[in-house]
Amino acid sequence: MTKLPVLLSIPHGGTKKPPELDGHLCILEKDLFDDSDPFVIEMYDLGEKVEGVIKTNIARAFVDLNRSLQDLPPQNPDGMIKSATCYEKPIYKPGGEPDDSLRSVLVEMYYKPYHKSIQKSIHELNLQLCLDCHSMASVAPNVSPDGNKKKRPMFCLSNQDGKTSSSQMIELLASCMSESYEIDRRNISLNDPFHGGHITKTYGNNPIPWIQVEMNRDLYLAKEWFNEETLSIDSSRLRDLNKMFENSLNLFFSRI
């Protein structure tokens, strides 16, 4: 089987708590879920069908791999190491926030290995495109660039306003996703509300084109598939979305 020449990065793929933070945390499971990109591995991971997949199950609430090493509280409570979730819910017990030593441990254990995997993949794999794969809340939290409860599109694709991929490439991907997911092309936005995070900005066109993908959680966390009380989901919906994603990429590489 010929693999699609794409690298998939899934940096917010889980809700796991690092054991190094045992005794420090007060975050509730529901708040941890709401701050995460739930079920993105199930929706985006195409395994052996693509050149490479880099993913993690560590929650972004504890180590956000899509932030720079310098992006920290108190300047940014939603930075690489956070002081609160994106919904301003506490993560740590009073006085339990990671000190410099613990931050360094988290960086060495979780942050650096992820980015080293990206760098290795860029240089060793046969790639024509890299995608940084996320989900987004259907209504923006206050800390987001489109805060104040603005309703979001079904997808947002971003390339730092043309800096990390060509305009033709991101337009083609949007068209293929519209076709595969059966979504009106007008409901797939480009660089709005997101322009591409730290991973896309750092590695885009360096040398491989890079696009950030944000899927609206209404596509799978609606009542039709998701139980808010148990945080459980209809797995068939995740499989369907995974197949739609695969179809999008097959269309893209057949037309590029």
Instruction: List pLDDT tens digits, range 79-102.
Output: 999 999 988 999 999 999 999 999
CATH, domain 4-255, list 1.20.5.510, 3.40.50.300, 3.40.630.40, 3.30.70.2190: 3.40.630.40
Is the pLDDT assigned to residue 144 strictly greater than 70? no
This prediction's pTM: 0.94
Q: Tell me: the pLDDT tens digits for 234-255?
A: 999 999 999 999 999 999 999 9
The pLDDT score that the predictor gives to residue 74 is 84
Q: Is 39 exposed, middle or buried (0-12, 13-18, 19+ CB in 10 A)?
A: buried
Is residue 186 classed as helix, strand or coil in its secondary structure? Answer: helix
Phi and psi, residue 140, nearest 5°:
-70, 135
List of residues 6+ apart from 148 with CB closer than 8 A: 140, 142
CA 243 to chain centre: 18
- Per the CB < 8 A criterion, the answer to whether 167 and 246 are in contact is no
Distance CA(178)–CA(89), nearest Å, equals: 35
Least confident residue range of 30-44, 69-83, 109-123, 187-201: 69-83
**Band of residue 149 on the pLDDT scale cut at 50, 70, 90:** low
Is residue 168 classed as helix, strand or coil in its secondary structure? Answer: helix
The stretch 14-19 carries a mean pLDDT of 94
The stretch 124-153 carries a mean pLDDT of 83
Is the pLDDT assigned to residue 14 strictly greater than 80? yes
Is the pLDDT assigned to residue 33 strictly greater than 80? yes
